[in-house]
């Protein structure tokens, strides 16, 4: 009982210390952030960025961009910050990924038509297929580096599912949200299924800031803020609320 009480006391003191540190640090540098959002109406990355802007108590100018343009704008310093990114060595040249990641897993699935006669039980089964992917997105190394695959680059997962329905692609590589849409949306009721081949891949999901942005000089302060949001439970609550609202099982969060 005493150990539990001591743990709770330490947690309260840690949160209080982080809160006081953040108030001092963020007050030193009030600014307007150029925040890049997806053009999709409601994604988890929207809620994460809204929470960060609110807790940092800054003004923001919001840009709604397709993923590839959003990523490019961040790399060029045309926007300051965005969420929903997977870290790669190439991206790290232009983007700083704030720690901690807000999700510890980004699972991907292969969605196919229920009427598809060809099997997709292993990686090699992909070669005769037209695979729909999101433009600019990263998935898993073998797939991303495989130039023998026929990849059809599309703006988003909804567009891919429409193409799949029309038989203009044979399979869609989708995340949790795309998987849920494929199996549960009334638009495609009973038309799709998840292939037996499972992607042997999990990746953390981050908030990224441009290395050309003035926010790059404040990266340590922003990471203190992220840690505060994590330990206070605000980050976990935001993530859980999003997935529950979308009726999607909550994936693993950063420990």
pLDDT tens for 109-160 read 999 999 999 999 999 999 999 999 988 888 888 898 899 999 999 988 889 9
pLDDT in tens, 154-192: 988 889 999 999 999 999 999 888 888 898 888 888 999
Inter-residue contact 57 to 26 (CB < 8 Å)? yes
**Is residue 205, in this structure, part of any structural domain at all?**
no
79 and 61 belong to one structural domain:
yes
What is the C-alpha separation between 96 and 51, in angstroms, rounded?
A: 19
Beta bridge partners of 112: 193
100 and 6 belong to one structural domain:
yes
| Predicted local distance difference test score (pLDDT) of residue 23 | 53
| Predicted local distance difference test score (pLDDT) of residue 93 | 97
**Is residue 255, in this structure, part of any structural domain at all?**
no
Candidates 40, 90, 96, 83; CA nearest to 65 is 40
pLDDT in tens, 20-31: 555 544 544 457
pLDDT in tens, 45-70: 999 999 999 999 999 999 999 888 99
CA distances from 182 to 139, 159, 167 (A): 18, 11, 15
**Is residue 254, in this structure, part of any structural domain at all?**
no
What is the C-alpha separation between 3 and 83, in angstroms, rounded?
A: 37
Candidates 181, 159, 178; CA nearest to 169 is 159
158 and 67 belong to one structural domain:
no
87 and 140 belong to one structural domain:
no
| Predicted local distance difference test score (pLDDT) of residue 5 | 54
CA distances from 217 to 91, 181, 233 (A): 18, 39, 26
**Is residue 70, in this structure, part of any structural domain at all?**
yes
139 and 174 belong to one structural domain:
yes
**Is residue 168, in this structure, part of any structural domain at all?**
yes
Say how many domains are in the chain. 2
**Is residue 30, in this structure, part of any structural domain at all?**
yes
The CATH number covering residue 176 comes to 3.40.190.10
Burial class (CB in 10 A: 0-12, 13-18, 19+), 247: exposed
Domain that holds residue 172: 109-194
pLDDT in tens, 206-215: 999 999 999 9
| Predicted local distance difference test score (pLDDT) of residue 102 | 93
36 and 85 belong to one structural domain:
yes
| Predicted local distance difference test score (pLDDT) of residue 209 | 98
68 and 86 belong to one structural domain:
yes
What is the C-alpha separation between 78 and 124, in angstroms, rounded?
A: 40
15 and 139 belong to one structural domain:
no
């Amino acid at each position: 009982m005493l150990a539990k009480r001591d743990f709770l006391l330490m947690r309260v003191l840690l949160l209080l210390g982080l809160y006081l540190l953040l108030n001092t640090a963020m007050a030193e540098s009030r600014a307007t952030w150029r925040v890049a959002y997806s053009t999709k109406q409601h994604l988890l990355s929207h809620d994460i960025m809204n929470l960060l802007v609110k807790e940092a108590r800054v003004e923001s100018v919001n840009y709604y961009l397709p993923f590839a343009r959003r990523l490019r704008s961040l790399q060029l310093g045309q926007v300051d910050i965005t969420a929903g990114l997977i870290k790669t060595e190439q991206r790290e040249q232009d983007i700083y990924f704030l720690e901690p990641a807000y999700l510890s897993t980004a699972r991907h699935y292969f969605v196919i038509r229920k009427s598809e006669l060809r099997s997709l039980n292993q990686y090699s089964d992909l070669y005769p297929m037209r695979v729909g992917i999101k433009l600019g997105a990263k998935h898993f190394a073998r797939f991303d580096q495989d130039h023998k695959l026929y990849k059809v680059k599309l703006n988003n997962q909804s567009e891919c599912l429409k193409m799949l329905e029309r038989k203009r692609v044979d399979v869609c590589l989708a995340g949790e949200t795309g998987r849920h849409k494929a199996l549960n949306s009334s638009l495609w009721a009973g038309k799709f299924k998840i292939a037996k081949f499972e992607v042997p891949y999990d990746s953390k999901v981050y908030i990224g800031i441009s290395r050309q942005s003035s926010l790059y000089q404040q990266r340590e302060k922003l990471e203190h803020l992220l840690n505060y949001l994590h330990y206070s439970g605000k980050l976990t609550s935001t993530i859980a609320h999003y997935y529950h609202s979308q009726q999607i099982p909550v994936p693993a969060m950063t420990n």
